[in-house]
Structure 1
Amino acid sequence: MDESGALPEPVWLVAANVVAWRRCGAGGRELRPGTKSFKGGAKVYVARVYWGPGGDRVTVIGRARHTSRWIAIDTATRHLYGFRPKLVHTPRALERLTEAGHPHGFGAEFAATASAALEAYARQYRAEIAPFSPHPDRCLCHACLTGESAEAGQVA
């Protein structure tokens, strides 16, 4: 709410979820839950995309892992999945969006186009993490849980 008590206007953003487990470390053999800032499965809103280097980094807004406060941070696209356009009404998310310097969000059509492109980039970047390293038995990484590794022709 602003000083007059009116709710901010809803805006179109790209919503996504944080991967439950991500591969990291030497050869991608280590698994970590979620990210340092967000729990696995947390819903975040993409506020800005850095298209220059190929969409590998995005600014997201979501509830922090430990404090549940709304935060805005830059994160790797590969740590997110399920990109979709979403009309955001949440006042705290809209406040954080304004504080991050992007109060207008995306248009509905651009959000739909960007969500498809970001999903493709995220899959590509997840596949590039240790491409020649086999996944351990009963691997919990996002690619194995969703079947992306089989689609990409990786050893599962």
Structure 2
Amino acid sequence: MSDSTEPESPPEPAWLVAANVVAWRRRGVGGQQLFPGTKSFKGGAKVYVAAVHWGPGGDRLTVIGRERHTGRWIVIDTATRHLYGFHPRLVHTPRVLARLNDVRNPGRFGPEEALDTSETLERYAQRYRAEVSPHSPHPDHCLCHACLTGECG
């Protein structure tokens, strides 16, 4: 009896853009409400950009990350403004690479393209965070990402 099933080799590593979810985000009328993280991800969670939707200006991304409540790896579209700290990363995690294969038009990069994309996405994220309720003052002791990092001036 011969066993024709060979053990699967690990998937080939891929260059992706990694980012973190903002700890707090402004929401509601005038941006006066603060919410931790996003509906799907905890604040500070690491996510990997699977696809960038450049058409409307890069305001939406398809990301892979661990879901807030269950810890399962999920693929979801999210707003660019909810992420920060974009940086290139060579990903070896089999679960991330498996989810990347499920994405339509995945964003596989080389190291230089990942660096350029991460810098561009960081600029977009800062711009989009500044556009959230631009004429409303931040509440006292605001914990939003822009106030914590000094982006809001």
| Structure 1 length-normalised TM | 0.92
Structure with larger Rg: 2
Query: Structure 2, unaligned stretches of length 5 or more?
Result: 1-5
Question: Is the contact made by 2:51 and 2:106 (CA closer than 8 Å) also made in structure 1?
Answer: no
1:5 CA displacement: 2.1
Query: In the alignment, residue 15 of structure 2 is paired with which amino acid?
Result: W
- 1:41 partnered with 2:44: yes
User: Partner residue of 2:3?
Assistant: none
RMSD (Å) for aligned C-alpha atoms: 1.2
| Structure 2 length-normalised TM | 0.93
User: Partner residue of 1:78?
Assistant: 81
Q: Which of the residues 56, 61, 64 maps onto 2:64?
A: 61
Question: Is the contact made by 1:14 and 1:46 (CA closer than 8 Å) also made in structure 2?
Answer: yes
Identity of aligned residues (%): 71
Aligned partners of 2:60, 2:142: CA distance in 1, in Å? 25
Q: Which runs of 4+ in 1 moved over 6 A?
A: none
Question: Is the contact made by 1:94 and 1:103 (CA closer than 8 Å) also made in structure 2?
Answer: no
Aligned partners of 2:132, 2:107: CA distance in 1, in Å? 34
Aligned partners of 1:42, 1:105: CA distance in 2, in Å? 21
Q: Which of the residues 112, 117, 124 maps onto 2:115?
A: 112
Aligned partners of 1:104, 1:25: CA distance in 2, in Å? 32
- Count of aligned positions: 148
Aligned partners of 1:76, 1:143: CA distance in 2, in Å? 15
Deviations 1:22-75 (A, max 9, x none): 001010001000000000000000010011100000000000000100000000
User: Partner residue of 1:52?
Assistant: 55
Query: In the alignment, residue 139 of structure 1 is paired with which amino acid?
Result: C
CA separation of 1:140 and 1:104: change in aligned 2, threshold 3 A: closer
Query: In the alignment, residue 108 of structure 1 is paired with which amino acid?
Result: P
1:102 CA displacement: 4.8
State how 1:91-102 maps to structure 2 within 5 Å.
91-102=94-105
Query: Structure 1, unaligned stretches of length 5 or more?
Result: 151-156
